[in-house]
Amino acid sequence: MKNISVIVVVYNEEKRIETFIKSFLWSNDLIIVDKSSTDATRDIISKYPMVKMITTDYSDTGDEIKYGIESAQNTWVMTLTASDIIHPNLVRKLTKLINDDDFTYDVIALPFAIYVFGIRDIKRSPWCAAHKEWMYKKHIVQTSTVVHKEMFHKSKNIYVMPYSDDENLFHLTHETMESFMERHIRYTRIETNNYEDEKRALQASFKDFLNSVKEVCFKRKSFLKGWDGVALGLAYISYFILKFLFVWQKFRGHGVAEYQKIRSEILTLWDKKSEEIRK
């Protein structure tokens, strides 16, 4: 399909990348930016010669999406993750929209169905949202190194598509606790790199933690969903706990230096006492 470039940045996504590709092969400009995956991700992508693969070195900067934007050939860009899959009817609706001469918007907010641990609940899940801005005209897009905000725009010319229970962009994330923890550790570590001032970093990350508690306990009242809601809420809050702890470690963590000091002192004592002990 012309006029829509689909872009995704991936790292070690061998379990999900083929499903993603098959869902977005309708695009005539499907671009995958691979951050030097160490699993079979690139081998799977190579099975699809129509997919444009860009390989970059792995980094924690988070702005690799820029390579996809620079390479995009079409007027519109859709920026996604390997967690995403799209309903065919939504693609048809998008095609009709952007090919209408009277359609003058710069951004399209798509009907969005996010599942976390297999659960979708717009009211109680702290992750859920009915719409997500995933599609932009290429010329308005800017990139950053801020995690989850790698792309942004300043346009107020946004079209919000009618909500649908079924015909959505589906975001299927965190299949297991193992994948949840691996990604959250990776993302929170990357977020920590954006902080340079200790006081502001600790204050901001602690405020984010408090806001996550407010979101779960008072705004969403996730616990009203029962044990599933408790799990979703705790998982959501845990992200901001990890973020605060990584920030704290960056500026105030002394474990590595302190333990090296202790080991050095004890080994020095052993060197001095070794001959005496052997006797």
- Write the CA distances from 256 to 178, 201, 245, integer angstroms: 26, 21, 15
Pairing of strands 76-80, 131-137: antiparallel
For the chain, domain boundaries? 4-173, 178-256
Taking only the tens place, the pLDDT of each residue in 223-262 is 999 999 999 999 999 999 999 999 999 999 999 999 999 9
pLDDT, mean over the chain: 92
Q: How much of the chain exceeds pLDDT 70, in percent?
A: 96
- Print burial letters for 161-177: b (CB count within 10 Å at least 16), e (below 16): beebeebbbbbbbbeee
Q: What is the CATH number of domain 4-173?
A: 3.90.550.10
Residue 165 confidence class, pLDDT cut points 50, 70, 90: confident
pTM of the entire predicted model: 0.87
In this prediction, residues 269-278 reach a mean pLDDT of: 74
Taking only the tens place, the pLDDT of each residue in 20-47 is 999 999 999 999 999 999 999 999 999 9
Taking only the tens place, the pLDDT of each residue in 193-222 is 889 999 999 999 999 999 999 999 999 999
| 3 state SS for 44-90 | HHHCCCCCEEEECCCCCCCCCHHHHHHHCCCCEEEEECCCEEECHHH
Residue 151 confidence class, pLDDT cut points 50, 70, 90: confident
CA dihedral 19, 23, 29, 34 (to 10 degrees): -20
Q: What is the pLDDT of residue 275?
A: 67
Q: What is the pLDDT of residue 278?
A: 60
Q: What is the pLDDT of residue 242?
A: 96
Residue 148 confidence class, pLDDT cut points 50, 70, 90: confident
